[in-house]
Amino acid sequence: MSNESNQEFALPPTGAYKVDTAASKISFATRHLFGLGAVHGVFPIRSGTVQVTDPVAGSNVRVEIDAAGVNSANPGRDKKVRAKSLLDTANHPTIVFSAGVGEGSTLTGTLTVRDVTRPLTLQVRELSVQQGTFTARATTTVDRYEFGVLGMKGLAARMLDLTVEVHCTL
């Protein structure tokens, strides 16, 4: 894998890795109040697997995210995000990202939110490999409207910047 400056990442050894959910998270940044205020928060990861193959092009990733676990440090806002008009976590408690390894340092796959599946590409920014483990950080931007998350237009921004940080073990 290479990043945008063509620097090569050291790849983890082949094998079936499990995402360490206690050491992994998905952070988000967005805007609210007609774009005037910044909102930051996290979604916990429920489970995940990474299959590293040789050649690496056959590798794949699957991560399940706890939609109801959203935490923006504002319980009232988090309750609105979980409500039917946004994530509807009572009926759709899990968000799923599934991907294969793309060109260079990308993971190209699909994101499923509220039973709506759309293509999504993550750009790997960091990859640190140790004996039997690796840690990766990747980023992307998601348009919530593409997933039918249409509530609170104007009050809640359309776009979310995501940073995925996963620690994986054999």
Query: How confident is the model over 17-33, as pLDDT tens digits?
Result: 999 999 999 999 998 76
Contacts of 102 (CB under 8 A, 6+ apart): 108, 121
Contact yes or no for 105/95 (Cβ under 8 A): no
Q: How confident is the model at residue 16 (pLDDT cuts 50, 70, 90)?
A: very high
Confidence of residue 69 (pLDDT cuts 50, 70, 90): very high
What is the pLDDT at residue 75? 96
Percent of the chain scored above 70 by pLDDT? 92
Mean pLDDT score of the chain = 90
Whether the pLDDT of residue 102 is over 80: the answer is no
Between these two residues, 104 and 41, which has the higher pLDDT value? 41
Structure tokens at 148: 């039918």
**DSSP assignment string, 90-120:** TT--EEEEEEEE-STTEEEEEEEETTEEEEE
Report the percent of the chain where pLDDT is more than 90. 75
Q: Take residue 92 and report the two structure tokens written for it.
A: 């759709």
Which of 29, 169, 43, 51 has the alpha carbon at shortest distance from 109? Answer: 51
DSSP label at residue 158: S
- Residue 34's pLDDT band, with cuts at 50, 70 and 90, is low
Identify the H or E element spanning 80.
Answer: helix 75-82
Give the pLDDT confidence score for residue 1 in this predicted structure.
42
pLDDT at residue 4, as a whole number: 43
Residue with tokens 């429920």, as numbered in its chain: 46
Average pLDDT, integer, range 41-47: 97
Q: Which residue has the higher pLDDT, 54 or 133?
A: 133
| Cβ-based burial of 169 (10 A; exposed 0-12, middle 13-18, buried ≥19) | middle
